[in-house]
Amino acid sequence: KKISANPKNYPTGAHVLVALLETRVEFDADMIENMTQKITQLSNSLTLQEADEELLSEIKNLQEKTMLLRENIIDKQRTVSGMLRSEFIPNELQPKLTIIIKDINSLVEHIKFSFDRLDYLQDTFLGYVNIEQNKIIKIFTIVSVIFMPPTLIASIYGMNFAFMPEIDKKWGYPLAILFMVLSSLFILYYFKKRKWL
C-alpha cells in the first residue's frame, strides 16, 4: 500500500526492498511484543496449583515460535549487513539501512531475553513438578514407615512357635494390638516433632 500510494518515492528495486524490510521489521517488533505479553501471562499464571501439562505445552509452543522468529530476524540482519556493504545500494539509502540494522539488533536482544524467560519458566515448571512428586513420595514413605512396626509385631506372632506364653493368655491379643497402635503413634509423634509432617 505504502509503495503503490507513492511510486515516485521508490524509483529502484533497492528502494522497494528497503521499504519492505522496514515494514517487516515493524511487523517483527509487533510479534515480539505480542509474545512478550503471552510470556508475562504465563509467568503470572504459573503457580504450584496450575503446573499442568497444558502449561508446559504452551511454554514449548512459545519456545518454538521464539526460535523461528529469532532465525527469521537473524536472516534479515545478515541481509541488511550485506546491503550496507554493497556497492549497488544507493548512498541515500545508507541512513535508512543503518536505522534498520539498529532496530534489528535491538529485536535480537529482546528475543534473546524472551527466550531466557521461557527457559526460566520451564525450569520453574519442572521444579513445581518435582515438588509435587516429592510430596507424593513423602506420603508413601511415611505410610510405609508407620506400618512397619505393626507388621513386624504381626509377623512375630504369626510364626507359630510351640512356646509363646502370651498366646494362651486372654490379654495376649489385646496386648499385641496395643503394641501395634502404640508403635504407629510413636512414629507419628516422632515425625511431627521433626516437622516431617
**What's residue 4's pLDDT?**
62
> 81 vs 9, which has greater pLDDT?
81
**Spatial separation of the C-alpha atoms in residues 151 and 15, rounded to whole Å:** 86
Centre a 10 Å sphere on the Cβ of residue 23 and count the other Cβ atoms it contains: 13
**Spatial separation of the C-alpha atoms in residues 12 and 86, rounded to whole Å:** 15
pTM of structure: 0.69
pLDDT-derived band of residue 5, with 50, 70 and 90 as boundaries?
A: low
Centre a 10 Å sphere on the Cβ of residue 73 and count the other Cβ atoms it contains: 22
**What's residue 125's pLDDT?**
87
With cell 504407629, the residue in question is: 184
Average pLDDT of span 94-111: 94
Average pLDDT of span 143-168: 81
pLDDT-derived band of residue 32, with 50, 70 and 90 as boundaries?
A: very high
pLDDT-derived band of residue 48, with 50, 70 and 90 as boundaries?
A: low
Average pLDDT of span 173-186: 88
Strand ranges in the chain using DSSP code E only, listed in sequence order: none
**What's residue 109's pLDDT?**
95
Residues with Cβ within 8 Å of residue 124, at least 6 apart in sequence: 46
